[in-house]
Amino acid sequence: MKKCIVSVLMLLMPLAVSASGGAGNLDKVYIDVSDQASLQRGARTFVNYCLSCHNASFMRYERMATDLGISEALLREEMMFASDKPGDLMVTAMPAAGAKTWFGVVPPDLSLTARSRGADWIYTYLRSFYADESTTTGWNNALFSNVAMPHVLYQWQGTRAATFEGGGVADVSSVRYQSVVPGTMTGREYDAAIRDLTNFMVYLAEPAKLVRYEIGFWVMLFMGVFIVLAYLLKKEYWRDVH
């Protein structure tokens, strides 16, 4: 009995860690990795804005293009800025030593961020930047206070100032934003772009999910037919008994 309890607690531990990651309440985001158009838009944003500093070393360009229905010509023309071969891993050209000097820390690999942090965390984080002259980059984040990452999408969202209820510590649940310089996108358009990027990062963390969705339909169909046949067989065996 004791071993069973320990096993259950170990299974629940990742859920507890995930639930406790990040301050305040996270904004909910709708994720649909079967939405190929959303994944393509998210992939474009990722390679243009994220891949310049971060690695996605568990993914190859060719695999991404195949999964998302991206032609090789489009892949080479608009998505392969750090590599020449579609079979290469998606890694940044920025040297780790340079990143350490410029940002004070080497930017983390984003391959599994959606699994370790969760989609809601990513979505909230990318929508929680605000201008802060006290930091090295000139930016801060209400979800991840004093983060070393600058707001690379500020042109889309615009520059915002932030105030916190009670003048307390930065907390995403108590922040109020004021627009300083408007962005090229409206708030709704920016949220949609971040949703697409988050959707792509969920795919990036588990590409096999697309295969599971496809296989799952046939598995469920087989199980449905099998249950009917099993029921008819049961009736045949028990007909004489009843």
The rounded percent of the chain whose pLDDT value lies above 70 is 87
Q: Does residue 161 carry a pLDDT above 80? A: yes
Q: Rounded to two decimals, what is the model's pTM? A: 0.78
Instruction: Tell the burial category of 55 from Cβ atoms under 10 Å away from its Cβ (0-12, 13-18, 19+).
Output: buried
The string of pLDDT tens digits covering residues 12-28 is 444 444 443 444 589 99
Judging by DSSP bridges, how do beta strands 175-182 and 129-131 pair with one another?
A: unpaired
Terminal-residue alpha carbon distance, the chain: 40
Give per-residue pLDDT as tens, 68-118.
Answer: 999 999 999 989 887 789 999 999 888 877 777 777 888 999 999 999 999
Residue 198 structure tokens: 């988050």
Q: How far is CA 103 from the centre of its chain?
A: 22
Other CB atoms within a 10 A radius of the CB of residue 148 amount to: 16
pLDDT digits (tens, 9 = 90+) for 32-68: 999 999 999 999 999 999 998 999 999 999 999 999 9
* Percentages (nearest 5) of helix, strand, coil residues in the chain: 50, 10, 35
Under 8 Å between Cβ of 86 and 61: yes
